[in-house]
Structure 1
Amino acid sequence: MSTRHKERLMRVVLQVVMILVSLLILIPLLIMLLGAFKNSAEVTAFDLALPQKWLFENFKAVFEQGKLLLAFKNSIFITVISTGITILVSSLASFILARRSSRFSRFLYYFFFIGTIIPMQIMPTIRLFTVLDIYGGYLNVIILYTAINIPFSCFLYTGFIKGIPRILDESAFIEGASTLQTYFHIILPLLKSCNITVLILLFTGIWNEINIPLYFLNDPSKRTLPLSVYQFFGMYGGSNWNLVFADLTLAALPVILMFLFMQKQFISGLTEGAVKG
């Protein structure tokens, strides 16, 4: 068999494997989506059959009984603030780490990298926030999300910024620009694809995360969407899977829409960051 035929065969095998992997993800997603429009009897089949009658009132029931609007507002607030702070702090820190080649900057880079490996300790963190008198509110959750996501974000930003020519910084400094002015006017506009990549990763991770809100939000009025889904499943998981699927669909919709609209920039940012790093 010639080399060309081998390469063609490998391509076909790879495509078949990718299709099978895609089906493993798409089939459960379609079962959930279709089940959200079925009645409580139809949905127990857990199949891909279309509903006999499309029950849009399932979503109305979920909003009323699951109090999703309040949970949605809480998730939006926590996710947007945490993501915004993380992107700003990480990109600023990475600008310095990428431009300075001192031992201290290298130490900080590896220090951030270690942060991607070491897990968070829940009980000592709860004790710390209790002493600081911020436990149970939005602030301690936002601080945690920011601290947890900064290391990986710095890893991406540093690799991307290293590919930006230093001559741009030097030209700005010659013109009298400060470090912050250089960052905001020169570097930040060039980070668009990387910003979108980090934005999607952070937004998806924070939006779907349940452990931190479960342990660090003690007020039911401040619960996030995953907590609402968790509670709703406990109430209806044994009898009304159609309502559970409607709840899951509404919870996943913002993340799915974001990825669909920004997937090109997301893939571009990952590729450019890997190559430049």
Structure 2
Amino acid sequence: MALKPSPVRRSAANITGLVFGLLWIFPVYWLVNNSLVTDDALQSRTPSFLPLDFTWAHYETVLHDSRFWSALRMSFGVALIVVVAALLFAFFASMALSRFRFKGRKIVIISVLVIQMIPAEAMFISQYKMIDSWHLLNSMLGLSLLYVGASVPFTIWMLKGFVDGVPVELEESAMIDGCSRMGAFFRVTFPLLGSGLVASGIFAFLAAWNEYTLALVLLSSDNSKTLPLWIQGFSGQNQATDWGGIMAGSTLMALPVIILFVIVQKKMAQGLVAGAVKG
């Protein structure tokens, strides 16, 4: 019979969890708080932990900026392309690596791991030249292609753990009942990978949504910037840094991520736990 933890140990664990939770949420609160106060309050040497000098001025500045809406469309478009393409490629690749035994399979698996170890900055010059030769600079498609290439290796590795956890006997039973190999994949295995697909899709979305350095290299036009590059515009070399605009813009940029996480948090938690156990 398992021993119950003592009240002291349970209280210590609760307090520790509370402290770490507050440490995690405080930067988010500070971001929102500073987006709702005046410029004078932001520049004051005495920090204000409550928005006493409340104002919507920074959000009005952001929402009336046409570049914000252009950057929002760019970021959403790139993230959507990356999620769909990465999951599509990763699903078939993970099925092949998990279900089939072919020559060079181990080399492919090791290559997937090695690719993730290469610093992204080491490939910027070659990536820029490649996209330039295709005439895709300052375009959603050009940036999306590189983001998909960067996301697919991790997504393959993550999804492979979920596919390994699905008994192959289920597919064999479906094929005995008349399903083709592809039909068994989509009718039996695919529905069981829901949590894994959600978790992998969230990681791919966050990677594309928050990425800054590669976008900085490829996108120079004001009409083709993503949200991180647009926020950088509040801190120009020839102007004072608009901290209120940065805070308001960063809050609006974080809002879709928070909403998405609230919607899929149950599936994502199930996927992460399942992946840890099955992988």
State the partner residue of 1:71.
71
Matches within 5 A, 1:258-273: 258-273=260-275
State the partner residue of 1:92.
92
Of 172, 192, 199 in structure 2, the residue corresponding to residue 190 of structure 1 is 192
Matches within 5 A, 1:1-277: 11-44=10-43, 45-53=46-54, 55-65=55-65, 67-120=67-120, 121-234=123-236, 238=240, 240-277=242-279
Is the CA contact 2:147–2:208 (under 8 Å) kept in the aligned structure 1? yes
Is the CA contact 2:74–2:226 (under 8 Å) kept in the aligned structure 1? yes
- Which has the higher mean CA deviation after the structures are superposed, 88-97 or 102-111? 102-111
Is the CA contact 1:62–1:247 (under 8 Å) kept in the aligned structure 2? yes
- The CA distance in 2 between the partners of 1:236 and 1:256, in whole Å, is 34
Deviation for aligned residue 1:248? 1.0
State the one-letter code of the partner of 1:39.
Answer: T
- Which has the higher mean CA deviation after the structures are superposed, 77-86 or 252-261? 252-261
Deviation for aligned residue 1:176? 4.1
With over 3 angstroms needed to count, the CA separation of the structure-2 counterparts of 1:40 and 1:68, relative to structure 1, is same
Is the CA contact 1:137–1:219 (under 8 Å) kept in the aligned structure 2? no
With over 3 angstroms needed to count, the CA separation of the structure-2 counterparts of 1:132 and 1:66, relative to structure 1, is closer
Q: Counterpart of 1:252 in 2: which secondary structure? A: helix
With over 3 angstroms needed to count, the CA separation of the structure-2 counterparts of 1:38 and 1:237, relative to structure 1, is farther
Deviation for aligned residue 1:12? 4.2
Q: Counterpart of 1:234 in 2: which secondary structure? A: coil
> Matched residue pairs, number?
274
Deviation for aligned residue 1:75? 0.5
Is the CA contact 2:235–2:241 (under 8 Å) kept in the aligned structure 1? no
CA offsets 1:158-210 (integer angstroms, 9 cap, x no match): 11111111122112333443333332222221111111111211111210111
Q: What runs of 5+ residues in structure 1 fail to find an aligned partner? A: none
- Which has the higher mean CA deviation after the structures are superposed, 216-225 or 151-160? 216-225
Q: Counterpart of 2:232 in 1: which secondary structure? A: helix
Q: Counterpart of 2:165 in 1: which secondary structure? A: coil
Percent of residue pairs bearing the same amino acid type: 25
Q: Counterpart of 1:116 in 2: which secondary structure? A: helix
State the one-letter code of the partner of 2:32.
Answer: L
- Which has the higher mean CA deviation after the structures are superposed, 253-262 or 96-105? 96-105
Deviation for aligned residue 1:102? 3.7
- The CA distance in 1 between the partners of 2:216 and 2:91, in whole Å, is 29
- The CA distance in 2 between the partners of 1:214 and 1:221, in whole Å, is 13
State the one-letter code of the partner of 1:78.
Answer: V
- Which has the higher mean CA deviation after the structures are superposed, 233-242 or 43-52? 233-242
Deviation for aligned residue 1:87? 0.7
- The CA distance in 2 between the partners of 1:269 and 1:147, in whole Å, is 23
Is the CA contact 2:151–2:207 (under 8 Å) kept in the aligned structure 1? no
- The CA distance in 2 between the partners of 1:84 and 1:235, in whole Å, is 38
- The CA distance in 2 between the partners of 1:247 and 1:43, in whole Å, is 15
State the one-letter code of the partner of 2:113.
Answer: F
CA offsets 1:71-100 (integer angstroms, 9 cap, x no match): 101100000011110011101110111112
RMSD over aligned Cα, in angstroms? 2.4
